[in-house]
Structure 1
Amino acid sequence: MSGKTYTVWGGNNCGKTTFAVNLACALSKRDMLVGLISSNLTYGDLQVFFGQNVPPEKGLFKALKDDNPNIGDKFSHYEGSKNLFFLSVPTCYTGLLCDTVTLQETERMMKAATMVFDILIVDGAPELTNPISGVGLWLAERIFTLHKPSIAAQMWYRSVSDFTRELHIADKQTHILVSPNGEFDDKPYRSMMKVPFAYELPYIKRAGELENAGTPLYSYHDRFCKRYSKVLEKIASSICGGEKR
């Protein structure tokens, strides 16, 4: 039986990759084999978050172009968890390969990956033209849409409303509010958006520092990261059901 796909989506600088990485870490602690795919076609941001390089013989472009049935071999193993693997562009690659990515090969690659992993997480992009993100939205069991309150976030959400309606993905969305700081009054944003927020993620002052050091928030145990991880555990439970094994 194939695994399920979950896509993380939202506007610029809303914390998508932070959330995707740490949700993957939380799920991997539940004896689930987790694959995480980046939609960034020009820069390997997952390498920064995990503090690891992706060699040229692995990575996104190899997974898309090769007919190798062992799609899992193109994923890089995260050294901090035996159950977590990630797929990103190589740390060094010959440029402009992103122009050759098609929807058809992306769909083939993702469907092959669901035969390897129990859970596949796609770190989506705000641009509607991104093929990795677009296929991830289409195939997703559930879409976690992140909101970091701002006028820009509100405008992005309104700008993609026709897209979500035409692609019939609105019902798959789970909206998550991301606090931009510890003191922000989110009432005006809630009033503007008129969407239900199933979860709220706290502001982590040290997030940038930890991510640049290759340390996922889920692996850091100060009280602020623990609050963030507590929300992730609730979401992981909603995906897997029950407590950690």
Structure 2
Amino acid sequence: MNPVATWRRLLAEFAGTALLVTAVVGSGVMATTLSPDDVGLQLLENSVATAFALGALILTFGPVSGAHFNPVVSAADWFLGRRAGTGLTAGDLGGYALAQTLGAIAGSILANLMFDLAAVDFSGRDRSAGHLWLGEVVATAGLILLIFALARSGRSAVAPAAVGAYIGAAYWFTSSTSFANPAVTIGRAFTDTFAGIAPASVPGFVVAQLVGLAAGAALTLALYPGVGQAADEVVVAHDGGTAPTHAGRP
């Protein structure tokens, strides 16, 4: 159980998710400004900035809330930990998901304002296609497996680097450029920039992410049947950095 006051954890999830989306959207705007004729270079600039920002944000907010910044991570934490009496409670899950979603919207608005754009400008970038949804299933399932494998094997200390690296890589190996996050998906609908997604495309992405959550949780349970015992360590240990002592055990 996390001893940190609930309001502090929710504030950390709100602020962390907001800054993550600010990094995603802001780096996308900067990339299109600096490299207007090279989409590949734009994606490289966007993915590198996102990966580094995510790692830094996990280090910053992890000791307070676990630095989930993602409703599917929080949902997996609740689901996998409930039998062992660890991880988030159902009430925590609802609070985290709401804080993350509001933070993501705030992050898009902040990025828009920093680049002298309309505070809210809904995206016109259509991302509705079966192969993109499949990409989101793969990206989300891999993210869940990575995070909980690190927690169960006592390697939560490397989560900032590992999660940042995974998301940075998944920008390139998935067809969807790896949103892998319902809150971030909703937030990115509020900006008509490189990182945006049309509001009509959001439901398909969110459903695919939920399928990825189920697949990732099932695979994690198959590979690490005792993972629920480590749910309090997701994403970063809540006790100031002490990792569980079950390294190497499933």
Q: TM-score, normalised by structure 2?
A: 0.25
Which structure has the highest strand share of the two?
Answer: 1
Which structure has the highest helix share of the two?
Answer: 2
